[in-house]
Amino acid sequence: MKHEERGIMSRYDHRKPVNRLTYGIIYLVVLIMACSMLYPILVAMFNSLKTNTEVNSFPPTFIPEHGWQWGNFKEGWNFLDLPLFLRNTLAIFVGNLVVTIVVLGMAAFSLSKMNVPKSKVISMFFLITLFIPPTTYLIPNFLNLKDLGLVNTFAAFWLPAGASAFNLLLLKNFFDSLHQEMFEAARIDGASELRCFGQLAVPLSVPIISTLAIFIFSTAWNDWFWPSLVMHSDHKYPLATAIYKYVISARGLNLNIRFAILFMVMLPPIIVFLTLQRFIMRGLHLGGVKG
């Protein structure tokens, strides 16, 4: 006999008018939130399929009324060298991910599985840095990169990625959940700490690494302010900075073509999230702070 999982409230509780009203209000709020989040995406999609005259018409229309202008996407693709800026964005993403796994992964492994003196104090120090607004260290970071000669290079993104306290603590909390006995057995067999990290910790950390990869990809895809500070060559801009400089700030570019470019840029992160969303909650659960 199949048994259904019982929730906090029984079927009898759901029949009460007060509870039904409460659930109705909750569903209404969720529906309003979903519509408010989907509305900008749908506006960009439908405006990208209109003629420029229809986009600028008043009162505005939601769905195209004079045919679907699929050629807008081809014109938007040719207006901007999207493959070049996409390669730059992927280079930033891959470099940040490698630095996160190697540098932050080894640091988190050291704090979690090695007898580092005052490891709890060090972890608390990294936790405190999360309360510092990121805008306060933009200028110091820029000056440091300038002194190192890393401005206008992809290393200006990779080096700060190795100083992310949030990613470090997320990895450390995940490593804390791994059984210490596995690493002790590997050390008894003669494995070095580096081998324990590379052959035990990293393969077991695929869920949290997948979660971090999604976060890093989202940051690399959406960040435009920091690249505009450290990148001075047009051919090295990531996609978000190129969109801001050449599309958002462009003069003389038709609105329908502008919306077509913006909608094409929206699609990849949406697809990535819908494909890998199960790793986000799983990774955060496995890497969450324990009470």
What domains are there in the chain, each with its CATH number? 76-286 (1.10.3720.10)
Closest CA to 215 of 284, 135, 127: 284
Residue 51 Rama label (left phi>0; alpha psi -120 to 50; beta): beta
In the chain, which ranges are continuous DSSP H helix? Answer: 11-14, 17-47, 52-55, 71-79, 82-99, 105-113, 119-129, 138-147, 155-161, 165-176, 180-188, 193-196, 202-204, 206-222, 225-230, 239-243, 255-286
Per-residue pLDDT of the chain (291 residues; tens, 9 = 90+): 444 445 566 666 667 777 778 888 888 999 999 999 888 888 888 888 888 887 777 787 788 877 788 888 888 888 888 889 989 999 999 999 999 999 999 999 988 888 888 888 888 888 888 888 888 888 888 888 888 888 889 999 999 888 888 899 888 888 888 888 888 888 888 888 888 888 888 888 888 888 888 889 888 888 888 888 888 888 889 988 888 888 887 777 888 888 888 888 888 888 877 777 776 666 555 544 443
pTM above 0.85, yes or no: no
